[in-house]
Amino acid sequence: MIVDCAIYRHGQRTEGPEDLSDALDEARAVGGFVWIGLYEPSEREFDLVTQEFGLHPLAVEDALKAHQRPKLEVYDDSLFMVLKPVVYEPESDAVSAGEVMVFVGDGFVVTVRHGEGSPLAAVRHRLEEEPEMLDKGPTAVLYAIADATVDHYLEVATELQNDLDELEAEVFQPEGGGSRHTASRIYTFKRQVQEFRRATGPLALPLTRLAGAGPLGTTVPFVDDKARPFFRDVSDHLMRVNESVEGLDRLVSDILSAHLAQMSVRQNDDMRKISAWAAMAAVPTMIAGIYGMNFDHMPELHWLWGYPAVILLMAALEMVLYRLFKRRGWL
The helix-helix angle for 306-327 and 228-290 (nearest 10°) equals 160
Is 90 exceeded by the pLDDT of residue 80? yes
Residues 243-283 have pLDDT tens digits of 999 999 999 888 888 877 777 777 777 787 777 788 778 87
SS3 category, 126: helix
pLDDT tens-place string over residues 154-212: 999 999 999 888 888 888 876 655 566 778 888 888 889 999 999 999 999 999 999 88
Rounded to the nearest 5 percent, the helix, strand and coil shares of the chain are 60, 15, 25
Interatomic CA distance for residues 112 and 245, integer angstroms: 27
Residue 62 identity: D
Q: Is-contact 172 153, C-beta < 8 A? A: no
Tens of pLDDT, residue by residue over 279-307, are 778 878 777 777 676 666 666 666 767 67
- 41 close to 64: Cβ distance less than 8 angstroms: yes
As a whole number of Å, the CA-based R_g of the chain is: 35
C-alpha span between 248 and 161 (Å, rounded): 7
How far apart CA 100 and CA 82 sit, in angstroms, is 6
